Chains A and B, each alone.
Chain A
Amino acid sequence: MSLWEYANPRRFMALTAKVQPWCWAVAVLLCAVGLGWGVLATPEDFRMGHSVKIIYVHVPTAFIAINAWFMMLVTSLIWLIRRHHVSALAARAAAPVGLVMTAIALATGAIWGKPMWGTYWAWDPRLTSFLILFLFYLGYVALWQAIENPDAAADLTSILCLVGSVFAVISRYAAQFWNQGLHQGASLSLDAEENISDVFWIPLVITLAGFVFLFVALVLMRTRTEIRRRRLHAITLRERTA
């Protein structure tokens, strides 16, 4: 019994059919608790006032946006090395989710930036690298859609994902090279001396977990759709040739 057994689409479908509803349930529950707690039951920040509550959307979406790309990198590698179709389809399924998460993180950041920094946008290293990440997502999704042969599309997008990851990381440091920006450093790290206060931290972590489950549920759903679409395509091809 190994993880690779689920590379078999039939096993994958059977497992995810069971897992998926639970993912949705946990995601909805955690998001409801976290967001409800965060928005309704936390005090106002002494400097930021009400606007601090946007953190419960901003931070989880940003977290997912980065880790979705990381997941695509891993699944692309698995596809290139072991040629499991489910892996390539999962990468394909994750990309639009990551794209939307990046867009939400950028948008909520802009909305939050206006009252805090007095501007919607600044060419701050973090903001810039997120914008560049958004562009990489766009290129990746566009390449998937442009290529008709599914295997060639999976190969080429995987290569793009690998090369793009390297350039995305370099771009991040290149943007840092200009200046230190407005955005604060990490405030959730486990090893940092100064984190945000527990009052905000606990609902934020709950929301974060909720968004992770939401991401997993969305990717599973989209992967299942892709597998079904692939099967349908195979069936119609077979009937046409028969």
Chain B
Amino acid sequence: MIALVARDLRLAIRAGGGFGLGLGFFLIFVTLTALGVGPTEAVLAPLAPGALWLGALLACLLSLDRIFALDREDGSLDALLTAPLPPEAVAVSKALAHWITTGLPLTVAAPVLAPLLFLPPSALPWLIAALAVGTPALSAIGTFGAALTVGLRRGSLLLSLIVLPMYVPTLVFGADCVRRAAQGLDPTLPLVLTAALTLGAIALLPFATAAALRVNLR
């Protein structure tokens, strides 16, 4: 499993664009949000929690179809699935590698981008916490969606149609946590719920992902 994660990370770094692409998208999204709705603090500050979460979510979505597609093209996915490693472990490793290449950098970059949208500084720790706790769920759900659509030639649009509705709870709780923090309310409840979603997703979804991979192996 560790070898698989390390391999995916190496591929992401050496093939280029692994870390940078999602971050660049996040920056562009934040910039475009400010340009689109108007650059005043009165408009942007209430939008900031939701916009930052949306940006993270879309940046995450952008890199989903590469999780399995490249491996399938060169046949290494078949090799992985016939290896002694159970497909569930492959699913976990893939989700973990995806999180390290997208979710983690997004979490680290969010506090830098948050002032661009005038997010109150008091909400910054909560933004980091919510993203750190919530993005693993995005990766786990996304890996499941990628496994469902891996055999399709034009899968990426379908992938977003399937994955985005499943992102709803994470988005609601995660953005609500930051919003409450920005308004000076107690944000622990949504944060705990986000964590619960993530734990549930990590615990259960690899089995569904593995089932989908097995179907695609046939």
A interface, CB within 8 angstroms of B:
132, 135-136, 138-139, 142-143, 146-147, 151-152, 155-156, 159-160, 162-164, 166-168, 170-171, 174-175, 177-178
Contact = CB atoms under 8 A, between A and B. Distances in A.
Interface in B124-145: 141, 144
B192 interface: no
Contacts of B141: 167
A190 B170 CA distance: 34
Contacts, number: 77
Contacts of B205: 163
B165 A142 contact: no
A163 B144 CA distance: 9
B158 A152 contact: no
B47 to A, nearest CB: 15
Interface in B155-199: 155, 158, 161-162, 164-166, 168-169, 172-173, 176, 190, 193, 197
A170 B161 CA distance: 18
Given A163-B144, A163-B205, A174 B168 contact: yes
Given A138-B161, A164-B166, A178-B172, A152 B148 contact: no
A171 B164 CA distance: 12
Contact of A142 (B158, B197, B218): B158
A21 B161 CA distance: 37
B169 A167 contact: yes
Given A147-B152, A152-B218, A163 B165 contact: no
A170 B197 CA distance: 9
Interface stretch (B51-59, B111-119, B208-216): B208-216
A166 B205 CA distance: 11
B149 interface: yes
Contacts of A156: 148, 212, 215-216
A135 B167 CA distance: 12
B105 to A, nearest CB: 26
Contact of B165 (A139, A151, A178): A139
Contacts of B151: 147, 152
A152 B213 CA distance: 11
Given A147-B151, A159-B148, A159-B208, A136 B165 contact: yes
7 pairs of A and B residues whose beta carbons are closest in the complex: A139-B162, A174-B169, A135-B165, A174-B172, A155-B215, A167-B166, A171-B168
Nearest to B144: A163
Contacts of A177: 172-173, 176, 190, 193
How big is chain B's contact interface, by range?
A: 20 to 34
Contact of B212 (A159, A171, A175, A178): A159
Contacts of B162: 139, 142-143, 160
Contacts of A147: 151-152
Contacts of B216: 152, 156
Contacts of B172: 171, 174-175, 177-178
Contacts of A139: 158, 161-162, 165
Given A160-B148, A175-B172, A146 B158 contact: yes
A164 B149 contact: no
A41 to B, nearest CB: 41
B141 to A, nearest CB: 8
A146 B216 CA distance: 14
Nearest to B163: A139
A66 to B, nearest CB: 16
A178 B176 contact: yes
Interface in B77-117: none
A167 B208 contact: no
A146 B152 contact: yes
Contact of B148 (A143, A166, A174): A143
A164 B165 contact: yes
A143 B176 contact: no
Interface string B31-59: 00000000000000000000000000000
A143 B212 CA distance: 13
